[in-house]
Amino acid sequence: MEAVLKEKKVVIGITGGIAAYKAAELVSSLMKHGARAKVIMTKNATEFISPLTLETLSGNPVYYDMFSRTSPWEIDHISLAKWADVLAVVPATANIIGKVCHGIADDLLTTTIMATQAQVIFAPAMNTNMYKNPIVQENIEALKKKGYIFVSPAEGRLACGDVGEGKLAAIEDILRAITDYFVRKQDLKGIRVLVTAGPTREYLDPVRFISNPSSGKMGFAIAAACASRGAEVELVTGPVRLSPPEGVNMHPVETALEMYERVMKLYPSCHIVFKSAAVSDYRPQAYHEQKIKKDSDRLVLTLVKNPDILKELGRRKKDQILVGFAAETHNVLENAMKKIREKNLDFILANDVTQSGAGFMGDTNKGDLITRVGEIIEIPLLGKNEFAHRMIDEVLKRSPHLAIRKNC
Ligand code: CTP
């Protein structure tokens, strides 16, 4: 990352949201990686964080007034627009997204965005209901179609007390999006990747099912990361509340059996499989066509085993690379190693789900990527997007034959 960002000129646009203070961390990280940073703040942003902080971190004056010129012979919004290699709006409010989408340029930041030929990246942060508002979503979609890059917000407890999507993405994910833009890494071009994500649902009757709290975020992040690196991606996903990643073929399924069918169909034409779905190991033996009534005091459920999809992939494996996931609460490495052998895998990502920040519900992950020969690669606590890229980096480093295969 360091080499890629060295001497790159990044303009950070800060708008007026509570997450404005986090932009300071981004500026600091960019500087640490050798980039050059200039900051534009909207008037509202200056209410949340002092320009002095950003000035000190970036080593440059902070621009926030349309009509005060830092040098008498330069018009700031034009010179900043030309200076930028990339312009990142962090955090981006619903207001700035709406304005840019509709061509409004009424302050220094919006005029600079309008005038620049550099790539603009938005990292939205706002209240969940605002973020989900169809007007905001339509604006985001329209801007994406025009080539603007978005770093999706995370889910969690927001400053207003609400819980949901709208929290500014992890700073390392925003940094990664900026780096990716420069690298335009296409190291998966010509490779077909199969990713599974989310939970499965095993129905008892039309209104009840057995499931688990998997959010699908890890699988979606892997799919998005692979697509951004040029892969053709098939994403088989259980029911989740996430928007489809850009450039990915989606295959929504509900039950383990449906996932099994779809995965087996796609498998022969794929080179790598990331099996991150939390598949239900059992399903009710009987499905009741009508809602089960609470007539008796006890209800005994008989469950039968679902097929182990990954194990079957291991059995049918020709030259695919199989990456499994092991969510464990105890004997983590031991159990994960056992799964590598039993399922004929090349890699397994072992998660100790008892540790905070790891596992299938949050926006971060940490774990050990274990190879077939027992090498253990520790991946530290990172935002799930950055985590996905790290994991892909490690898998590719150890799979030189992929380069040959993609030319076949
Ligand atoms: N898996 C699968 N099909 C299943 C169960 C699991 O494909 N019916 C895959 C998961 O997607 C994951 C890996 O197998 O990549 C390990 O899943 P995990 O739930 O950790 O372990 P299990 O194999 O189910 O074993 P156990 O629950 O006993 O730990």
pLDDT band at 268 (very low <50, low <70, confident <90, very high): very high
Give the pLDDT of residue 358: 76
- d(C-alpha 395, C-alpha 390), whole Å: 9
160 carries an active-site annotation:
yes
- Structural contact between residues 326 and 351, judged by C-beta atoms closer than 8 angstroms: yes
Cα distance between the two ends of the chain = 31
Ligand 1, atom nearest to 325 Cα: 15
Give me the long-range contacts of 160-164 (CB less than 8 A, separation at least 24): 160/127, 162/127, 162/128, 162/129, 163/128, 164/128, 164/129, 164/131, 164/132
Secondary element (H or E) of residue 58: helix 51-58
CA of 317 to the centre of ligand 1 (A): 17
- Structural contact between residues 6 and 33, judged by C-beta atoms closer than 8 angstroms: yes
User: What is the separation of C-alpha 14 from the centre of its chain, rounded to a whole number of angstroms?
Assistant: 22
Both tokens assigned to 366: 């940490």
What's the one-letter identity of residue 35? A
- d(C-alpha 323, C-alpha 391), whole Å: 10
Ligand 1, atom nearest to 312 Cα: 7
Name all residues whose Cβ lies below 6 A of ligand 1: 256, 275, 277, 279, 281, 306, 308-310, 324-327, 339
Most trustworthy range by pLDDT among 237-246, 335-344, 362-371: 335-344
CA dihedral 264, 270, 273, 277 (to 10 degrees): -40
Q: What percent of the chain has pLDDT over 70?
A: 96
Ligand 1, atom nearest to 307 Cα: 8
CA Rg value for the chain: 23
Give me the long-range contacts of 157-162 (CB less than 8 A, separation at least 24): 158/127, 158/128, 159/18, 159/19, 160/127, 162/127, 162/128, 162/129
Nearest CA to ligand 1 atom 14: 310
Nearest CA to ligand 1 atom 27: 281
Strands 272-275 and 321-328: parallel
Nearest CA to ligand 1 atom 24: 281
Query: Residue written as tokens 């994403």?
Result: 235
pLDDT band at 67 (very low <50, low <70, confident <90, very high): confident
Averaged pLDDT for residues 346-357: 89
CA of 263 to the centre of ligand 1 (A): 15
Residue spans of alpha helices (H) in 309-351: 309-316, 332-343
Assign residue 315 a region (left: φ > 0; alpha: ψ between -120 and 50; beta: otherwise): alpha
23-32, 67-76, 167-176, 195-204: least confidently modelled range: 67-76
From the candidates 160, 226, 270, 408, give the one annotated as an active-site residue.
160
pLDDT of 407 higher than 50:
no
pTM of the model: 0.69
Q: Nearest Cα to 137, choosing from 280, 248, 244, 18?
A: 244
Residue 371 burial (10 A CB sphere; 0-12, 13-18, 19+): middle
Ligand 1, atom nearest to 326 Cα: 20
CA of 75 to the centre of ligand 1 (A): 60
CA of 356 to the centre of ligand 1 (A): 21
Q: What single DSSP character describes residue 237?
A: E
Ligand 1, atom nearest to 306 Cα: 8
Both tokens assigned to 128: 């969940």
Q: What are phi and psi of 288, to 5 degrees?
A: -90, 120
Averaged pLDDT for residues 297-324: 96
CA of 206 to the centre of ligand 1 (A): 26
pLDDT band at 408 (very low <50, low <70, confident <90, very high): very low
pLDDT band at 398 (very low <50, low <70, confident <90, very high): very high
Complete domains list, the chain, with CATH: 2-185 (3.40.50.1950), 192-406 (3.40.50.10300)
Nearest CA to ligand 1 atom 20: 326
Q: How far is CA 285 from CA 280, 281, 288, 310, in A?
A: 13, 13, 10, 22
Both tokens assigned to 86: 């990339």
- Ligand 1 pocket test, candidate residues 202, 261, 308, most atoms within 8 A of CB: 308
Both tokens assigned to 169: 């993405």
72-76, 131-135, 367-371: least confidently modelled range: 72-76
